[in-house]
Amino acid sequence: MASLLGTSSSAAAAILASTPLSSRSCKPAVFSLFPSSGQSQGRKFYGGIRVPVKKGRSQFHVAISNVATEINLLKNRVRNLLEESQRPVYPFAAIVGQDEMKLCLLLNVIDPKIGGVMIMGDRGTGKSTTVRSLVDLLPEIKVISGDPFNSDPDDQEVMSAEVRDKLRSGQQLPISRTKINMVDLPLGATEDRVCGTIDIEKALTEGVKAFEPGLLAKANRGILYVDEVNLLDDHLVDVLLDSAASGWNTVEREGISISHPARFILIGSGNPEEGELRPQLLDRFGMHAQVGTVRDAELRVKIVEERARFDKNPKEFRESYKAEQEKLQNQIDSARNALSAVTIDHDLRVKISKVCAELNVDGLRGDIVTNRAARALAALKGRDKVTPEDIATVIPNCLRHRLRKDPLESIDSGVLVVEKFYEVFA
């Protein structure tokens, strides 16, 4: 039964154990077929089931015992049990302040091709709490059932080689819908845990490429979150750089090579006091959010009170924000569906590139990300055309971390971007 429902056997066993014996019937499912009208005249047997038959045109109303209903009830109970057993997540709608960070996260959910967000700020400013609260708002995607790489049935670029070969041979693979994954990358993770491992013994003895997927496989088409990313080991940083650049992860062991798609939204957070991030990795993040400590006394009191309410009764606290969470989730779904129809005028594109050129931004990532973020913001606001105000909102977050740092410069790089924007767009 547990495999039927796609849930863990332990959860299903716990529910069955808690179900009274009287409610669990050992009788087989009863299938009774009746004619829709009139009296039966004659009987026939189909597969051992005696069926009343009416002469002429036979019309049967099939009344199947409530097996399907019982399965659905059990499935709902398993889902509720799993949700209750998980650590309660602070609601995204309950986050007070930090509008810049929240906007960057929402825009990346609307358009994952923006390329992720780097969040830097003081200790205790809610960086990790905000990122993890995003999990409730993540939309559902179509995946190949049972595939460890979350392969997209409609896009071969994010499809594993095994699934692609099966589709080419004409096999019909089951498709299901699941929420976008958010994978935490711990600082102490080994390279094998991140990339995956190959069972060399099985490969040599049985000639089979036995691959144990890692965190990058699980993060495909999802979010990879690295807390304290500036403290990550250099060799893991190189692995993330390669996968983020190519969208694929390749594992090579003893002459055996396996590749799988690894397209993910990279979200990192850290405290600048603990060390700077390598420029190569910093440039891979689509957007950069600067988080500061709240100075307003009233706002600080509100944050403390909300946190105390959550710690006292997480379930009741989450329930109080359920309506706001659903409203925000619907807004995100609408924006994702409308994103392809959002346009940006050519003269606005030229001005964006002029800002990037005059700020000496290396490469073209700044231009691309600014265009994408502006379109995502317009979709979030329910418009089908980008305005200069949209660009003004997102361009500091898209370019701030791409400027070459001058050690003698005392002005924040985001201020320089804003000044150049108004100079060009004036």
Alpha-carbon span 223 to 177, nearest angstrom: 17
Mean pLDDT over residues 117-121, rounded? Answer: 90
State yes or no: 122 annotated in a binding site: yes
What residues pair up with 269 in beta bridges, in sequence order? 119, 227
Catalytic status, residue 365:
yes
Structure tokens at 224: 């990879």
Q: Assign residue 238 a region: left if phi > 0, alpha if psi is -120 to 50, beta otherwise?
A: alpha
pLDDT of 345 reads 95
| Ranges 38-47, 90-99, 279-288, most confident | 90-99
* Residue 125 marked in a binding site: yes
**Residues 373, 378, 381, CA angle at the centre, nearest 5°?**
125
Pairing mode, if any, of strands 60-64 and 31-35?
antiparallel
Compute the distance between CA of residue 250 and CA of residue 260 in angstroms, rounded to an integer: 7
Q: Are 285 and 401 in contact (CB under 8 A)?
A: yes
**What average pLDDT does the segment 103-124 reach?**
90
pLDDT at 137: 86
Q: State whether the Cα torsion 253-255-260-263 is positive or negative.
A: positive
Say if residues 287 and 104 touch (Cβ distance below 8 Å).
yes
Cα–Cα distance measured from residue 288 to residue 116, given in angstroms and rounded to the nearest whole number: 9
Find out whether 128 is annotated in a ligand binding site: yes
Which of the residue ranges 23-32, 102-111, 337-346 would you say has the lowest mean pLDDT? 23-32
Check pLDDT > 70 for residue 40.
no
Q: Which of 77, 263, 365, 402 is catalytic?
A: 365
pLDDT in tens, 330-360: 999 999 999 999 999 999 999 999 999 999 8
Do residues 196 and 243 make contact, with C-beta atoms less than 8 angstroms apart?
A: no
Q: Is 121 labelled a binding residue?
A: yes
Residue 64 banded pLDDT, cuts 50, 70, 90: very low
- Give the confidence band of 56 by pLDDT, cuts at 50, 70, 90: very low
Lowest mean pLDDT among 31-45, 76-90, 210-224: 31-45
CA 42, 45, 51, 56 torsion-angle sign? negative
Q: What is the pLDDT of residues 229-254, one digit of tens each?
A: 888 887 887 788 778 778 888 888 77
Place 410 in a pLDDT band, splitting at 50, 70 and 90.
very low
Q: Does 408 have pLDDT greater than 50?
A: yes
State the pLDDT confidence band at 60, using cuts at 50, 70 and 90. very low
Angle at 216 between CA 211 and CA 218, to 5 degrees: 80
116 is in an annotated binding site: no
Q: Are 380 and 110 in contact (CB under 8 A)?
A: yes
**Mean pLDDT value across the chain:** 78
CATH number for the domain running over 87-138+179-309: 3.40.50.300
> Greater confidence, 363 or 81?
363
- pLDDT for 153 equals 85
Mean pLDDT of 65-78: 52
pLDDT tier at 221 (50, 70, 90 boundaries)? confident
pLDDT category of residue 375 using cuts at 50, 70 and 90: very high
Report the pLDDT value the prediction gives residue 86, as an integer from 0 to 100: 61
Q: According to the model, what pLDDT value does residue 41 have? A: 44
For the chain, give every domain's residue range.
Answer: 87-138+179-309, 340-425
The answer to whether 188 is annotated as binding is no
- Is 145 part of any known ligand binding site? no
Confidence band of 13 (pLDDT split at 50, 70, 90): very low
Poorest-pLDDT segment among 99-108, 144-153, 345-354: 144-153
- 283 annotated as a binding-site residue: no
Same fold yes or no, 87-138+179-309 and 340-425: no
pLDDT above 70 covers a percentage of the chain that reads 77
**Which of the four CATH numbers 3.40.50.620, 3.30.1180.20, 3.40.190.10, 1.10.8.80 does domain 340-425 have?**
1.10.8.80
Residue 83 above 80 pLDDT? no
- Determine the pLDDT at residue 16: 44
Q: 7: which 2 tokens?
A: 């849930």
pLDDT of residue 74: 59
Q: What is the pLDDT of residues 132-148, one digit of tens each?
A: 888 888 888 888 888 88
Residue 9 has pLDDT above 60, yes or no: no
Q: How confident is the model at residue 26 (pLDDT cuts 50, 70, 90)?
A: very low
